[in-house]
Structure 1
Amino acid sequence: MTTWTELKFGGRTFSSEVRKLGDMKEVVLDKRFLASANMDMELYYMFRDVSKNEEDKKRIKERELRYDITIIPPNTLGAEFVKTAGHYHPLLPGSQMTYPEMYEVLEGEAHYLLQRREEERGREKITDVMVVKAKEGDKVIIPANYGHVTINPSKTTLKMANWVARAFSSIYGPIEVKGGAAYFELTNGEFIKNENYGAVPDIRFLKPEDTWIKQIKLNNEVAMYELLREPEKLQFLI
């Protein structure tokens, strides 16, 4: 399997942070697979705070944003497709809304599993679950108050980018404690419920453009990185 320790972007070179199987074994469905799997298996590669040049780097930082690229080679975790560990975002200061995020598929295919988490009488409740199937060029907005997992359901490498506020750290604990997201996508394409959640809603399947914010005119012809030249379209992230 190809490893991605470095990424060249706009003439600059970036080093990856590697997510190994052992880092996220708690969120894998297939425990029989885990019993014999190599915990050092590299699952995906994260390149944080990427920019094409020093001028862009300064501009991104001034706007309190971060542009990342994640590469997920094709793989399986026993019964399910390879995926990210999954996380939530913290609340915006002085708000009951969490930070949103924007993704773009650069190459390959992605299934974004989104779940809305609320507190009811001090207990967690999942009130909505969505799956967005995206291909090269598609952009997907993760709305406020949703956690998310990215799945690579194909036999090709998934490369995706994201814009996000640089002011926060992702929250992995709630999904890890539950042993994964509310649903697992099996290698036969079936989605099955994670029994650790109890009752969860049925999945709503959306198109990427269904997640867009109407006031922000997006299209799939302009690469998401170039929104740096239209900063008003990224303002909602911070």
Structure 2
Amino acid sequence: MGNELNFFGHVVAPDIRMLHDMDGVLYDTEWFRTAKDTELYYMYRDMYRNEKEHEAIKSQHLRYDITVIPPQMLGKEYVKTAGHYHPNVPGVSTSYSELYQVLEGEANYLFQRMAGETIEDVAVIKAKAGDIVVVPPGYGHITINSSNTTLKMANWVCGDFSSMYHPIKEHAGAAYYLLEKGYVPNPKYTKTPPIRYLKPTDASMLGLGKGEDMYNLVSDLSKLDFLKNPHLYSAMFSKVLEK
């Protein structure tokens, strides 16, 4: 064992994303063909401070996770997550949302919305420790660590669904790859628009102070209702997507 995380006294072992798990989503395919399999990043699922809070979180169909992404290059590309979309909430035509916070380091969150084979919108948010980022419904997303320090981030998400990885894998990755020279478009998509650069989400929208640990929302989980019922929060998501 190794890379366990101590969260308020709970020692949790990670699910590990290996390099070979990223087959089909990387820019530098020539490098990948001869690269030795190695650990890329670590996912700690269903974290909680104590049993009372764990029961409250589960009763609201929520989950709090932590992901740790050490810095490295995947050939010419910066290390990143595999990327995924969320399914629609049962009975409505709106997909689930997600909420992230950078705990340590820096992150680049890339969002993309598709219509068929065409990308309609691509947005990037560069976030530092304390920043929070809401992923709006309808957007696939990946996280990139382009820094020289370890990225540690947390997320709140509804626990009632499984993420969908195939839409990004079948296009050989997201709409853009981040290389040392900057973002380059993925030719597997058609008519990819320019990247829109957005700011992190205003923490006050969730009743949080600037830089406050979003795990504190465990004391009032109703503030995370938008993760379970995103179709009721279109105005909030519109604001998140504003420049």
Q: TM-score, normalised by structure 1?
A: 0.92
- Alpha-carbon distance between aligned partners in 2 of 1:213 and 1:88, rounded to the nearest angstrom: 24
Question: Given the alignment of the two structures, is residue 142 of structure 1 paired with residue 135 of structure 2, yes or no?
Answer: yes
Identity %: 50
Q: CA deviation at 1:215?
A: 5.3
**Pick aligned residue for 1:79 from 76, 81, 89:** 76
Code of the residue aligned with 1:148 in structure 2: it is: H
Code of the residue aligned with 2:131 in structure 1: it is: D
**Pick aligned residue for 2:17 from 8, 15, 19:** 19
Question: Given the alignment of the two structures, is residue 60 of structure 1 paired with residue 53 of structure 2, yes or no?
Answer: no
- Alpha-carbon distance between aligned partners in 2 of 1:94 and 1:198, rounded to the nearest angstrom: 31
Q: CA deviation at 1:124?
A: 2.9
Instruction: Decide whether aligned partners of structure 1 residues 20 and 109 sit closer, same or farther in structure 2, where only a CA change above 3 A counts.
Output: same
Structure 2 unmatched ranges of 5 or more: 229-243
Contact 2:3/2:14, CA 8 A, preserved across alignment: yes
- Alpha-carbon distance between aligned partners in 2 of 1:195 and 1:110, rounded to the nearest angstrom: 24
1:3-33 superposed Cα distances (whole Å, 9 cap, x missing partner): 9631100011111000001011210100121
Contact 2:77/2:179, CA 8 A, preserved across alignment: yes
Structure 1 unmatched ranges of 5 or more: none
Q: CA deviation at 1:99?
A: 0.2
**What residue number does 1:206 align with?**
198
Q: What is the root-mean-square deviation in Å for CA atoms of aligned residues? A: 1.5
- Tell me the SS of whatever aligns to 1:22: helix
- Tell me the SS of whatever aligns to 2:68: strand
1:118-174 superposed Cα distances (whole Å, 9 cap, x missing partner): 3xxxx3321100000000000000001000000001000000000000000000001
Q: CA deviation at 1:57?
A: 1.0
Structure 1 runs of 4+ aligned residues shifted over 4 Å read: 212-215
Contact 2:102/2:151, CA 8 A, preserved across alignment: yes
**What residue number does 1:184 align with?**
177
Q: CA deviation at 1:230?
A: 1.9
Q: CA deviation at 1:80?
A: 0.8
Counterparts in 2 of 1:1-238, with a 5 A limit?
5-38=3-36, 40-118=37-115, 123-188=116-181, 190-209=182-201, 212=202, 216-238=206-228
**What residue number does 2:236 align with?**
none
Contact 2:119/2:190, CA 8 A, preserved across alignment: no
Q: TM-score, normalised by structure 2?
A: 0.90
Code of the residue aligned with 1:132 in structure 2: it is: I
- Alpha-carbon distance between aligned partners in 1 of 2:4 and 2:206, rounded to the nearest angstrom: 33
- Alpha-carbon distance between aligned partners in 1 of 2:139 and 2:194, rounded to the nearest angstrom: 16
